[in-house]
Chains A and B, each alone.
Chain A
Amino acid sequence: MLRFKVRNYFFLGFILALLIGFHYLGWLKFLEQGVQAVIIPISSKITGWRFAFQDSFKYVSNKQAVMDNYNACLEKNQNSEVDKAKLKVLEQENAELKKQLNFLSERSFAHVMAEVVGRNTGSVEKMIIITAGEEAGVKIGQPVIAGEGILVGTIAKVEKNISMVRLINDNQSKIAATILNKDGSLGVVEGGYGLSIRMNFIPRNETVLIGDQIITSGMEQNIPRGLLIGEVAVAENEAYQPFQQAVLTPSTDLSKLHIVSILISN
């Protein structure tokens, strides 16, 4: 063991304080960007491996659940043949409606695509690291989507070439949302420590049904209306509560994000 002298404690503390101070002043940006340039490819590679092995881990750790899911998928597949025919008719109608909608309101999003290269999913934070930063026009608060307009989170921290995305299941995430029910109920979607996603502040007199879809309401400056968040899994309307709330199922698996887009302006 080391016998540390008092001056060593002070020296170590002094250097630590200097490092923290210089970091916040931005004087170490050059060094930090160099380190990130080394670390990000390593993190990206390891994340790639995780995607490749993730299902194998799940299979080994919970074989029964995987088998149940597989059987459920088989059953769904049989039913989907009937739905396919209906879907074709709807697709034709949809294409026509789209043409009309595009003609009526031209609404285009400027966006930046980015790769997910890491994640921090401890109990304190639910974040992913993506390969787009200040240089690409990314700013704090901008929405991040996956697939065809599914909101997965918002930008929480921006560096030169990378950004941290606060996922919608993070404890500090709050998104103004609306339910696609007959009342068009408004509320706030909040993360539940990574374990669940809840929509709070829904007026008690409005009807919320299981399966109702939830989209962004457009009441926030950076987040446009219409980004899909999820659907209602449980609706809770307690007599002693001023508002009702709903537990949501996200529209995409937040642990399997690989490519995302940041809506850099509306």
Chain B
Amino acid sequence: MKIVWKVIMLCIYVTLILATHIFIVNFLPYPFNHINIIFVILLLLLIVAPNKKIFWLGLVISYFSELLSSIPFGIGTSALLASLLTINWFQLHILTNRSVYMILLSATLGITLYRILFILLLTIYNYFYNLPGLPYKEILADTGWEVLLSSILLFLMYLFDLKFLKYLHSSARNARMYGKNI
């Protein structure tokens, strides 16, 4: 019964996050439609409630979101997981301070890394399949908006969590301060 309940909850989380992603991409005007809500939510969860399940959640969400994209399958998911793991390592070994400014820096680094990996993989794919080059100038502008707006959103969400949802911290404090072996 517990497992069924967990699966139902996972389905609800995934649907909600995907619906939010579709809402932002389809509904919001430029440049707000470039907010990377999937990455923001996953990174926020990784910061306030670290758990290995977040990577699996990221894998599932990214896999499903790629079903609605014409970008070669696997590029988005690979870039997302690699950047999440890298930023997790960064927060564990380099960005160890947990001030809101450090969270902002983590978000900026994470989303920038995600976009760089994404473009790199896509460029390699296009090269091997003789497809035309990417419009790097436009991509750079879009990435700028994505990094700026997504980082600000994560910063605000973390701040909100810090002020109003303090119960999340008590459970995650030890893991954040001393690391958690899994």
| Interface stretch (choices B1-9, B26-34, B148-156, B163-171) | B26-34
Given known A38-B15, A39-B68, A125-B71, contact A2–B22 (CB-CB < 8 A): no
Task: For A1, give its contact among B29, B91, B134 (CB under 8 Å).
Answer: B91
B77 interfacial contact with A, CB 8 Å = yes
Q: Give the segment of A45-53, A64-72, A103-111 that binds chain B.
A: A45-53
A3 touches B132 (CB 8 A): no
What is the total number of residues of chain B having a CB less than 8 Å from a CB of chain A? Answer: 49
- Binding-face segment, A16-24, A81-89, A199-207, A229-237: A16-24
Interface residues on A, range: 35 or more
**CB of A35 within 8 Å of the partner chain:** yes
The answer to whether the Cβ of B109 comes within 8 Å of any Cβ in the partner chain is: no
CA distance A57 to B138 in the complex (A): 22
Residues of B within 8 A of A (CB): 15, 18-19, 22-23, 25-27, 29, 34, 46, 50-52, 55-56, 59, 63-64, 67-71, 73-74, 77-78, 81, 85, 88-89, 91-92, 122, 131-132, 134-135, 138-139, 141-142, 175-176, 179-182
Supply 8 A–B pairs (Cβ within 8 Å), ascending by A. A1-B88, A3-B180, A4-B88, A16-B78, A19-B63, A19-B74, A39-B67, A119-B26
Given contacts A15-B59, A23-B73, A156-B70, 9 further A-B contacts (CB under 8 A): A1-B180, A4-B89, A12-B56, A19-B77, A49-B27, A118-B22, A123-B142, A125-B71, A157-B70
Q: Using CB atoms and an 8 Å cutoff, list the residues of chain A in contact with chain B.
A: 1-5, 8-9, 12, 15-16, 19-20, 23-24, 32, 35-36, 38-39, 42-43, 46-47, 49-50, 53, 57, 61, 118-120, 122-125, 127, 129, 156-157, 164, 166, 171-172, 193-195
